[in-house]
Amino acid sequence: MREGCEMTEAIFDRVAAAYDSWYGTELGKAADQVERVLAQTMFQPSGARVLEVGCGTGQYTAWLIQEGYALTAVDVSGEMMAKAQARITAVGGQVQWWQADIAEILDQLGKFHGIFSMTAFEFVSQPEQVLAKLYDCLEPGGCLLIGVIAGDSPWSEYYQEAAKQKPTSVFAQAKLYTEKDIRHWQVGGRLELGQCLFFPPTVATAAEALALEERREGRPGFIVAKWVKV
């Protein structure tokens, strides 16, 4: 495994136990709601075989299983993946688990009708090259979707500040990209972009957050990018 990825593995192993607590906070719930609706609406694979990259604790793995996909889930962190495995065992689903750095297994993956990845490409080095190889793993009509925290947004500023305060945090490892960066990546096929998280991390309540979200003003904090194989 590459050196940077060993660091990512160690950091996510360390935060795995507490990772899901974010989704229990008022802000976390509101952010999850808007990101989930956008990503789940945009993800339209051309068949049943789906790969999830950076499954983490299984926040989206459970949904992919409920949708009936034949799922392979990859994550570099054994501790994060163990949480996902426990979640899927509890709901009674079948997943092919693969603990690995995605960049190291690109030639062994096979073909998929859809590839799905949420908040993981911030931690993958050389994302453009990895995405281009993942695109090659798509069946005709298949789609490759990633959701990422938007660079140059109130959320990237918030995470950068958190990283400054705590250099050992997950945020210090993240590299954040703007819509312009993503548009420049040579991945393949037809690119579609979606934006959400139009409320800032300083919002006082979930109700205020969702009201701001409806207005869609200002810089979005989250981008969903989808490449469709043509």
Ligand X SMILES: C[S@@+](CC[C@H](N)C(=O)[O-])C[C@H]1O[C@@H](n2cnc3c(N)ncnc32)[C@H](O)[C@@H]1O
How many CB atoms neighbour CB 95 within 10 A? 22
Q: Which is nearer to ligand X, 75 or 213 (CB)?
A: 75
Pattern 48-87, ligand X, x by CB under 6 A = ------xxx--xx-------------xxxx--x-------
* The 3-state secondary structure of the chain, one letter per residue: CCHHHHHHHHHHHHHHHHHHHHHHCHHHHHHHHHHHHHHHHHCCCCCCEEEEECCCCCCCHHHHHHCCCEEEEEECCHHHHHHHHHHHHHHCCCEEEEECCHHHCHHHCCCEEEEEEECCCCCCCCHHHHHHHHHHCEEEEEEEEEEEEECCCHHHHHHHHHHHHCCCCHHHHCCCECHHHHHHCCCCCEEEEEEECCCCCCCCCHHHHHHHHHHCCCCCCEEEEEEECC
Contacting ligand X (CB under 6 A), which of 30, 31, 124, 225? 124
Residue nearest to ligand X (CB): 56
Q: What is the nearest approach in angstroms of ligand X to the Cβ of residue 198? A: 19
Contacting ligand X (CB under 6 A), which of 50, 62, 64, 102? 102
Residue type, 87: R
Q: What is the nearest approach in angstroms of ligand X to the Cβ of residue 98? A: 9
Q: Does 134 bind ligand X (CB under 6 A)?
A: no
Q: Which is nearer to ligand X, 36 or 212 (CB)?
A: 36
Q: Which is nearer to ligand X, 105 or 207 (CB)?
A: 105
Q: What is the nearest approach in angstroms of ligand X to the Cβ of residue 86? A: 14
- Are the C-beta atoms of 73 and 96 separated by less than 8 Å? yes
Q: Which is nearer to ligand X, 12 or 43 (CB)?
A: 12
Report 156-215 residues binding ligand X (CB under 6 A). none
Residue type, 12: F
Q: What is the nearest approach in angstroms of ligand X to the Cβ of residue 215? A: 25
Q: What is the nearest approach in angstroms of ligand X to the Cβ of residue 161? A: 18
Q: Cα separation of 71 and 93, whole Å?
A: 10
Q: Which is nearer to ligand X, 55 or 65 (CB)?
A: 55
Q: What is the nearest approach in angstroms of ligand X to the Cβ of residue 190? A: 24
Q: What is the nearest approach in angstroms of ligand X to the Cβ of residue 230? A: 27
> Would you tell me which residues interact with ligand X (CB under 6 A)?
5, 8, 12, 54-56, 59-60, 74-77, 80, 101-103, 118-120, 123-124
